[in-house]
Amino acid sequence: MNSTAVIIAAGLGTRMKSRLPKAAHKIAGREMLRHLILAAEQVFERIVVVIGPEMDQLATLSRPHHVVIQHERLGTAHAAQQAAPFFGAGPTAIFYADNPLVSAQTMTTLLARLQSGDAQLVLMGTTPPDAGKYGRLIIEDGYVRKIVEFNDATADELQIGFCNAGGLIAAGRDIAAWLSLVGNNNAKGEYYLTDIVEIANRLGANVAALDIAFEECIGVNSRAELAQAEALFQRRARDAAMANGVTMQAPETVFLAADTELGENVTIAPHVVFGPHVRVEADAEIKSFSHLEGCVVRAGAIIGPFARLRPGADIGENAHIGNFVEVKAATLEAGVKANHLAYIGDGHVGAQTNIGAGTIFCNYDGRTKHQTKIGARAFIGSNSALVAPVTIGDEALVAAGSVVTENVPGGSVAIARGRQVNKEKKPPQP
């Protein structure tokens, strides 16, 4: 079929007031451009991203897909024309990176509507709660005759609730032909993609429009709109998680990343934040005020409350990570317990080992990170400092308050603290 998706991402995002290109701003920890690319990858055989000059970050985010540069910002039709060499003869869709929540399902629906054969151009339309300043779609006999911009609409046309949502699809050769006829006779002297609707009608093509859920069509041009898109994404992600067997006691307080993976019968308490790259397996429980990023929580484990799992944390089955415990780049095997006030960084902890309150893995010597290795069924007493690199064997015991700087053999007891001395109070001198 040789289908193509073109994503226009050349906007500077002036209203974002940011040094970042607009399409590089994130929703649920993922750049807006990446949201669209990942959806398009599920539907289209080829993806072409149109960026502006000196947008190296967007070029990187677009890999491994084709990137073309709009050196002069002369409007959306001009941007689309930069990708024309890649259109081919098959279906070609055009999307905007600042409409980042368009789903793969909607893209598939657009493609199917075009292939039904009665329309040569299919638009994404939407019926927003407040049509406001959206361009109105004027429908006659079931087809779109024109798009009327807000400033040009009559009073009657402003009563129309069906609006232009931006995306569209047609045969590549048709889009290329229509784009070549777009002029710039307007106040800004720009070439507008929406003009192809009038051109297509004039040349005898039928133009159809689908009514897409407004939540997928929201545009992001400011920080406030970015927050609105985040809220819409979160609501959709929470609903999907709960539909798949996740329990959320207060879902509106839980924040998910775009790639969060939650297994069946996972329970998430109020006020939990998931950063990117988190997988939680079945029957695990995440308690309140915990923050997880770049980690794996295996089946039946309990995390929190007030726990922090940083990148590289791998928490074993039925392990317990309690309040004010931080884990980073460390593997904790099945049944490990670290229930209070500990830092576990750059290490490996064997099955069924207990980490006492106040334990610190001293992993950094000021220049290099070092590993702490603890065997199975060991017991680390409270307020211990394990100075890496150090290895503590199976079933070893480290006495509370120890500063361990040498390896501890399996089955041994390590006491590394000053000997307690009690000095009796001297009686007062006469």
In sequence order, what DSSP letters do the residues of 181-222 get, joined into one string?
T----STT----TTHHHHHHHHTT--EEEEEE-HHHH----S
CA distances for 376 relative to 196, 298, 391, 399, angstroms = 69, 18, 12, 17
CA distances for 180 relative to 63, 89, 169, 391, angstroms = 28, 16, 16, 70
| Angstrom distance (rounded) from CA 308 to CA 291 | 5
- Amino acid 124 reads M
| Angstrom distance (rounded) from CA 197 to CA 179 | 10
Q: Residue 291 — φ and ψ, nearest 5°?
A: -130, 125
Q: 66, 277, 340, 370: which one is catalytic?
A: 340
Quick one: CA dihedral 34, 38, 39, 44, positive or negative? positive
Q: Would residue 66 show up in a list of annotated catalytic residues for this protein?
A: no
Among residues 2, 9, 3, which one has the least CA distance to residue 68? 9
Contact 316, 374 (CB under 8 A): no
Contact 399, 374 (CB under 8 A): no
CA distances for 189 relative to 12, 13, 124, 192, angstroms = 18, 20, 25, 9
Quick one: CA dihedral 29, 32, 33, 36, positive or negative? positive
| Angstrom distance (rounded) from CA 367 to CA 209 | 61
- Residues catalogued as catalytic: 340
